[in-house]
Amino acid sequence: MGLQAFIDQQLAPDKIDDSASEQRLSDFASLNMSASEAAYLLNDTPAVNELNAATVARALYSERQLYEVMTNFWSEHFSIWHYKEKDTVLKADDDHNVVRKHALGKFRDILGASARSPAMLVYLDNAKSNKAHPNENYGREVMELHTVTIGAYTETDVQEVARCFTGWTMQNGVGDFYFNKATHDDGAKTVLGHTIAAGGGQQDGETVLDILATHPDTALHIASKLCRRFIADDPPVSAVKAAQQAFLQSGGDIPTVLRVIFATPEFLNAPPRFKRPWEYVISLVRAVDGQPTDRLFGG
């Protein structure tokens, strides 16, 4: 097929027939449930086992190889420990509606979906955040880990972002996303030098996400992580800069950024690099056409 044809194919995963891989998961009822359905219908351990098994099976058997690499990338970027409280049953919804839905889409879309994800609301305690007691966990992590990263914001920014996301919670305390106007701080705020007028309601949080998604430091952070993933642990500055520019010019379009990375001399001539244990085991089983038969591996 050749390298360029393979890249073109892999960047259009919807055009790749992956029905044989997905058929292995047909018994896993939890994978396509809404957060509300999962919260009320699922038991903790079976839900976690099905999600773990689906992750392994897709990595082993999917023809959409780049897509699976990127779902792993974003799962780690928007990391959620799925043994915290109800996240044992909510993480599958996050996997389906955040990571897998937007893995090769626009960064602003995956960032927004993550902010509204019930699993993320539980994990970083924003479901409990209200105007009387704003919780700063998500406000800090959305900047430190998900977007602009350390050095681009102040403690005051953390406090203001936390205020913007008060009222972002779940229906009946566990379930699908819900904006509770009564618990939202509707006063004026200032985030990274941008004034957010009073009375914005849910739009306060959306405005913060717009600011963060278009910030040059976010572009640099994402570009650096992608180059680290695909080129080298210490990514070359020239490739990172090219990826950053592609991010900014395309409005955070992930396939566009990847195309730029894959066209750089640094990628085409990258030295060998060590695989992590997960990658090593998966690639080994794929290389020998391994066929695990246990149900938990999609057999």
- Provide mean pLDDT across the span 265-280: 93
Residue-wise pLDDT for 118-156, tens only, equals 999 999 999 999 999 999 999 999 999 999 999 999 999
Length of the chain: 299
Q: How many CA atoms lie within 13 A of 292 on its CB side?
A: 19
CA 61, CA 255: separation in Å to the nearest integer?
Answer: 22
CA 279, CA 66: separation in Å to the nearest integer?
Answer: 13
Q: How many CA atoms lie within 13 A of 94 on its CB side?
A: 32
Q: Please indicate whether residue 290 or residue 230 has the higher confidence score (pLDDT).
A: 230
Does residue 294 have a pLDDT over 70?
no
User: Picking from 43-57, 70-84, 142-156, 242-256, which range would have the lowest pLDDT averaged per residue?
Assistant: 43-57
CA geometry: angle at 233 spanning 231 and 238, to 5°? 55
* Spatial contact of 13 and 67, defined as CB atoms under 8 Å apart: yes
User: Picking from 111-115, 168-172, 217-221, which range would have the lowest pLDDT averaged per residue?
Assistant: 168-172
In the chain, which ranges are continuous DSSP H helix? 3-10, 19-23, 35-41, 44-61, 65-77, 87-94, 101-102, 107-116, 118-123, 137-144, 155-164, 203-213, 216-230, 237-250, 254-263, 265-268, 277-287
**What is the gyration radius of the CA atoms in the chain, in angstroms?**
20
